Amino acid sequence: MLDIKTRILTAMAWGEPDRIPLTVYDWMLPRGMTERHLRAAGVGLVVRLPGHRVQHREVEIVSQEYHESGRRLIRRTIRTPVGEVWQVLEPDPAYETSNWIHEHFIKRPDDYRVLEFYYRDMVFHDNFQAIREAQRRVGADGIVLVRIAKSPVQEMLYQMMGLEQFAFDYQEQRDLFDSLHATMVKRYEELYEFAAESPAEILQLGDNIYSDVVGRERFQRYLMPEYAKITARIKGTGKLLAVHMDGNLKSLQADIAAARFDIVEAITPPPMGDVSLREARACWPAKALWINFTSPMHLEPPEVIEAHTRALVAEAGTKRGFGVSVTEDAPVAALEKSLAVIARVLQDY
């Protein structure tokens, strides 16, 4: 019987694992007796760490916590010699590992030059010691991914602008938009080097692709070139590139097929997503699918979870190039119940 790490790597590289790997982002499953039983049943942990660390020379980043209407908020300010920008965050109360952004950094044209200075001011160092230590601790019970970042245009959308500002500036401030993007692209080449040289076997871009927002034009112009750069850099190293694509993907099916990367990670079956596993296998025969288990199913009775798991396995068709994971928040008690059912079904298969 393969250990969990070998099972993941075998499946993602199109080998023949002994069973379909089942994983969960490590922070979603609190340590304890149930977690120990689940790991013994074959549930693997996925730990994500950056391949780099960041220092600044002239930029100062200040976080101020306060409360408003009973909510805990954080105002994060980037101060530079050419001005400052700020965002307002609300920590996610479920896990407190992510934040809801209520106000984004870019609100006016002058904010672009501040963020360009912010990226030019960065000094990168490797994070290899932390990655090796995480690999030592996880051992064969899971895998440590290098999470490079979001691709530049996705970072602009999610972290800097939000959808409305992004849409407006893409049409009305394209010179500023593309100038910031070009600055980020240049700096990201250094991040790709650190990721490629890291001890991790799988690299991840956390792009959170949603086709209705990205659109074919931006996918082809801004995203496909970044995927190609990383794939070219890791050619011959044995490393694999995964892209986190957890939204609707139907209108991008042809472009995803043509894009140069190895694993469609976090693709979520209907009714959350709009591409079935059968369609994904047909459209992307060269790409492994490391799916996010259909989130609403965690709340269903065990017999419904079992039937749904068996249906997904049937659609996948083979253990090669296929894995099941949990990448989206779910209530812990529900997640513990559903993972036990999924693990049993995959063991039977």
Q: Confidence class of residue 95 from pLDDT cuts 50, 70 and 90? A: low
How far is it between the farthest Cα atoms of the chain? 61
Q: Confidence class of residue 93 from pLDDT cuts 50, 70 and 90? A: confident
Over the chain, what is the mean pLDDT? Answer: 96
User: pLDDT tens digit string along 235-272?
Assistant: 999 999 999 999 999 999 999 999 999 999 999 999 99
Q: What is the pLDDT of residue 176?
A: 98
Q: Confidence class of residue 98 from pLDDT cuts 50, 70 and 90? A: confident
Residue 34 clears pLDDT 80, i.e. is over it: yes
Q: What is the 3-state secondary structure (H, E, C) of 237-256?
A: CCCEEEEECCCCCHHHHHHH
Q: What is the pLDDT of residue 329?
A: 86
Match 């870019």 to its residue by tokens.
106
Of the chain, the percentage scoring pLDDT greater than 90 comes to 95
Structure tokens at 112: 């672009």
Of the chain, the percentage scoring pLDDT greater than 70 comes to 99
Residue 92 clears pLDDT 70, i.e. is over it: yes
> Residues 269-285: what's their mean pLDDT?
97
Q: What CATH class is the domain 4-55+121-348? A: alpha beta
In sequence order, what DSSP letters do the residues of 78-136 get, joined into one string?
EEETTEEEEEEEEE-TTTSSSEEEEE-S-SSTHHHHHHHHHHHTEEEEE-HHHHHHHHH
Q: What is the pLDDT of residue 349?
A: 82
User: pLDDT tens digit string along 38-56?
Assistant: 999 999 999 999 999 999 9
Residue 299 clears pLDDT 90, i.e. is over it: yes
Backbone CA torsion sign across 288, 292, 293, 296: negative
> Residues 319-331: what's their mean pLDDT?
95
How many Å apart are CA 84 and CA 114, to the nearest integer?
A: 6
> Residues 119-128: what's their mean pLDDT?
98
